[in-house]
Amino acid sequence: MGNLKCLRTLSFFIVGQDAGEQIKELGCLNQLSGELDIRNLENVRDQEEARSAKLAIRAKINGLGFHWRDRSDSEANHCNDEEVLEGLCPHQNLKSLKIDGFSGKKFPSWMSSHFDYLIQINLERCKNCEQVPTLGHLPCLKALEIKGMHDVTCIGVEFYGMRSNVLFPALRTLAFRGMKKLVEWKDALEVTSARVVFPCLEELTIYNCEQLKGAPCHFPFLQKLNIDGVNNTALESISSNLTTLKSADISRVSGHTFAPGQLFCTSIQSLWISDCGELSYIWDTSQPLISLEELTIRNCPKLRCFPRIQGLRCLDIYECGFEVLTQLQLCTSLAQLEINRCDNLKSIPDLGELCFLTYLVIKDCSNITRLPEGSLKCLKSLAIGGYCEELDVFPSLNNFIQHSHTTLQYLELKGWAKLNSLPGEIQQFTALETLVIQGFDGIETLPEWLGNLSSLKELVRGKMCKGKWGRVVQDCPHSKDRHTMIKRLKFSASPITEKMAQHCPYSNYTELMGLFRGFNKLGRELKCVNVKNKFR
């Protein structure tokens, strides 16, 4: 490698111990530029050998990655990683730096130097480090991610430094991930003499830092907050002074029954709350959320109360403890509504005021016995079913027929064991293009009236039918004298017989999709040009 003295680009170099593989080979490549990953650094003996790469004089290399392979704890405790990384000091023109798998307890002294052009830093799997490096002085740093630094218990003055009145002046995204022992992240304005901190920070991510209890409260221009696996006290502190937040993703926050009211500033537009097992109500504030347009609530089994949000456009509720959703009637701007697997829910209120609703899902709510009332004149997509299995017939679709029979294009129906027929009202949806049927275990044949759906282009059959599937296909209204508009058929989990093709002599299908053996043969028999078999 060292003989390639005119080499300009080298994306990675794997360090070995044999001649021609040692890191000193890089020292001869004077023309190198761009980005370079150096891997297997555990094969470098000491600081002197690391310096032989001559990275400090490589002004044209703007991106460096330093990688060590995974090692056991005993190997890591006897490593020379600190010496090696000290010897890999880069040129001060560096723009991007990644350190991965470093097993030393402290970072090299050169990381506190003035890298005035450094834009991005990633520190991953530095498991033995006891402190984060000093980075607050870097004038151009825009993105910082620290991941898997398990031995750090506190982030304080050493992170910010004492050199500047403005700390992290250009930082836009900051992420802490997998900091298992981190308990406190101190506020720079309390531990340094700085006057301003994070003046440009737009996105903050904290993931799997379950011991974290203390955190800063000064994020003057934060727009996006991602919190997953953090104590509630840290969330309360972080959200206490937010005034510019537009998006928040809150998951697995422990020790709280309600989300901090300060999180819901008037500027927030999108909110995701999931896997908060103790959450019983979302917020306790009379402040109207005039900008909130998207709300997702998932896997919050103790959640009982739903707030009033008039400007909401998209609402997704999944596996929550709601018994009633009366406030839905006041969400008059809703265009998309999804309610899934809410077993305490017995009914949905009248949706007649939701005049902009185009997409509606109400599925797998085991206590629901009837569908909501109300005029839904703009509805284009509807997915329903998976309700109380004591019902002998599928709930009436008459309300949807009355108001949506000329607009509905997609319909998905999920039945249950007792049901042996499809709702006859389906045939009145004259604009229907896609029909998905699953879970009607008693069905042996598809009804003749499916042929009346003149706009139907796609028929999807999920798990259903205790009768022979060949008979279902035989009676499917696809033949020349019944219906020729269906272009795509999808099947799943069914046996296949050669006789099936005999019932489809006039097939007009351009695409078949299946999930079972023998499906490709069926496609050939039907002379279909596009057969997709996803069976594994």
What tens digit of pLDDT does each residue of 443-499 get?
A: 877 788 887 888 888 887 766 545 444 444 444 544 444 444 566 666 554 444 344
| Residue in the structure block whose two tokens are 């500033």 | 265
Q: Binning pLDDT at 50, 70 and 90, where does residue 522 land?
A: low
Same domain for 329 and 421?
Answer: yes
pLDDT at position 139 is: 95
| 62 found inside a domain | no
pLDDT at position 516 is: 44
CA atoms within 13 A on the CB side of 273: 30
pLDDT at position 38 is: 95
| 58 found inside a domain | no
Which segments of 52-165 does DSSP mark as H helices, in order? 73-77, 81-87, 157-160
| 51 found inside a domain | no
Same domain for 311 and 424?
Answer: yes
Share of residues in the chain with pLDDT > 90 (%): 51
- Flag whether pLDDT at 3 surpasses 70: no
| 157 found inside a domain | no
pLDDT at position 166 is: 95
pTM reported for the whole predicted model: 0.85
Same domain for 318 and 395?
Answer: yes
CA atoms within 13 A on the CB side of 522: 30
pLDDT at position 498 is: 43
Query: In whole angstroms, what is the distance from residue 453 CA to residue 64 CA?
Result: 61
Same domain for 421 and 461?
Answer: no
- Flag whether pLDDT at 60 surpasses 90: yes
399-427, pLDDT tens digit by residue? 787 888 889 999 999 998 888 888 988 98
- Flag whether pLDDT at 81 surpasses 90: yes
pLDDT at position 489 is: 61
Mean pLDDT of the 265-282 span: 87
Mean pLDDT of the 14-43 span: 89
- Flag whether pLDDT at 69 surpasses 50: yes
Same domain for 308 and 424?
Answer: yes
| 179 found inside a domain | no
Mean pLDDT of the 357-366 span: 95
| Residue in the structure block whose two tokens are 């004089």 | 57
Which residues does 478 contact at the CB level (< 8 Å), separation at least 6? 484, 486, 489, 504, 507, 508, 509
Same domain for 324 and 393?
Answer: yes
| 292 found inside a domain | no
pLDDT at position 520 is: 55
Same domain for 427 and 461?
Answer: no
pLDDT at position 19 is: 79
Domain encompassing residue 485: 433-443+456-536
Mean pLDDT of the 327-353 span: 90
pLDDT at position 495 is: 45
CA dihedral 484, 490, 491, 496 (to 10 degrees): 60
Compute how many other C-beta atoms are within 10 angstroms of the C-beta atom of residue 389. Answer: 12
Indicate the number of domains in the chain.
2
| Residue in the structure block whose two tokens are 């599937």 | 469
Same domain for 392 and 330?
Answer: yes
106-153, pLDDT tens digit by residue? 999 999 888 999 999 999 999 999 999 999 999 999 999 999 999 999
Q: Binning pLDDT at 50, 70 and 90, where does residue 505 land?
A: very low
pLDDT at position 120 is: 98
Same domain for 349 and 460?
Answer: no
pLDDT at position 462 is: 66
- CA neighbor of 411 nearest in space, from 350, 356, 361: 361
Same domain for 437 and 496?
Answer: yes
- Flag whether pLDDT at 296 surpasses 80: yes
Q: What would the DSSP string read from start to end of 378-415? A: T--EEEEE---TT-SSPPP-HHHHHHHTTT--EEEEE-
Strand runs labelled E in 238-365: 247-254, 270-274, 294-300, 314-320, 336-340, 359-363
pLDDT at position 468 is: 41
Same domain for 344 and 460?
Answer: no
Higher pLDDT, 411 or 307: 411
Q: Token pair of 36, please?
A: 């370079």
Q: Binning pLDDT at 50, 70 and 90, where does residue 287 land?
A: low
- CA neighbor of 224 nearest in space, from 213, 209, 237, 238: 238
| 280 found inside a domain | no
Least confident of 31-40, 426-435, 459-468: 459-468
| 5 found inside a domain | no
Query: In whole angstroms, what is the distance from residue 136 CA to residue 167 CA?
Result: 5
Same domain for 484 and 398?
Answer: no
Highest mean predicted confidence (pLDDT) among 14-23, 292-301, 488-497: 292-301
